[in-house]
């Protein structure tokens, strides 16, 4: 069976990565490498499964373009056809969008276009909305602005603080993100099968 090799990019604790790995056997994607811009604790989820990890330290590079080129080189070195940003806190330079056009996904903790940026959960609370949610979208040059692939609403409860609300948002992310990755991998695998 054709399996699509994917790269997962993280910066933090990697709970989305953990879920992507947990259901990998049920789908047609295979995590070929996990890349981080720092010594992220989430890398341990990959190490525990014997999956290669690559740290490309942001601080080693003079600018965004050279950092991005190094990340892209690792993605290509492992033959990845799909790139998954799962809590990756660096903005990739346009060269990444060119090299992996239409094949970079991100998960964001709001209903985009509402509350883009790094503080989406806090911003939703400050705006006193009664509903926020999760968005999975394709990455384009403009941050958090690419075509939306899936969205699920999450209610904001009266006693929510950022920690409680983010925890409920993450429960939804953990279901939704692997499903969207799987459906794209399925399409890529079918296309590849059809081309043979």
108 binds ligand GRF (CB under 6 A): yes
Instruction: Select from 105-113, 144-152, 157-165, 185-193 the region that touches ligand GRF (CB under 6 A).
Output: 105-113
How many Cα atoms within 13 Å fall on the side-chain side of residue 64? 9
Residue from 32, 124, 173, 181 binding ligand GRF (CB under 6 A): 173
Interior angle at CA 175, CA 173 and CA 179, nearest 5 = 105
107 binds ligand GRF (CB under 6 A): yes
132 binds ligand GRF (CB under 6 A): no
Instruction: Select from 52-60, 61-69, 107-115, 123-131 the region that touches ligand GRF (CB under 6 A).
Output: 107-115
Cα dist from 194 to 2, 3, 20, 25, whole Å: 11, 14, 26, 23
Under 8 Å CB-to-CB from 112, ≥6 apart: which residues? 135, 137, 144, 145, 148, 151
Distance CA 99, CA 171 (A): 32
Secondary structure of 32-64 in HEC code, one letter for each residue: EEEEECCCCCCHHHHHCCCCCEEECCHHHCCCH
**Site size for ligand GRF (CB under 6 A):** 14
Residue from 15, 35, 97, 124 binding ligand GRF (CB under 6 A): 15
Cα dist from 143 to 147, 154, 196, whole Å: 11, 22, 36
Structure tokens at 50: 């014997």
Distance CA 78, CA 91 (A): 21
110 binds ligand GRF (CB under 6 A): no
Assess whether 108 carries a catalytic annotation: yes
| Least distance between ligand GRF and beta carbon 130 (Å) | 20
71 binds ligand GRF (CB under 6 A): no
116 binds ligand GRF (CB under 6 A): no
| Least distance between ligand GRF and beta carbon 168 (Å) | 11
52 binds ligand GRF (CB under 6 A): no
12 binds ligand GRF (CB under 6 A): yes
Residues that bind ligand GRF (CB under 6 A): 10, 12-16, 42, 86-87, 107-109, 170, 173
Q: Which positions are annotated as active-site residues?
A: 108
């Amino acid at each position: 069976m054709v399996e699509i090799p994917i790269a997962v990019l993280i910066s933090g604790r990697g709970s989305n990565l953990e879920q992507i790995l947990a259901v990998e056997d049920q789908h047609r994607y295979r995590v070929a490498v996990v890349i981080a811009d720092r010594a992220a604790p989430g890398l341990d989820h990959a190490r525990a499964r014997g999956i290669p990890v690559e740290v490309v330290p942001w601080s080693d590079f003079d600018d965004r373009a050279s950092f991005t080129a190094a990340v892209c080189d690792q993605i290509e070195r492992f033959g990845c056809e799909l790139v998954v940003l799962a809590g990756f806190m660096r903005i990739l330079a346009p060269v990444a969008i060119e090299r992996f056009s239409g094949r970079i996904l991100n998960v964001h903790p709001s209903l985009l276009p509402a509350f883009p940026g790094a503080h989406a959960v806090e911003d939703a609370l400050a705006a006193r909305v009664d509903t926020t949610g999760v968005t999975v979208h394709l990455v384009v040059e403009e941050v958090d602005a690419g075509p939306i692939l899936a969205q699920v609403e999450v209610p904001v409860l009266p006693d929510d603080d950022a920690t409680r609300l983010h925890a409920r948002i993450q429960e939804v992310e953990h279901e939704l993100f692997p499903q969207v990755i799987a459906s794209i991998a399925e399409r890529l695998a079918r296309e590849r099968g059809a081309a043979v």
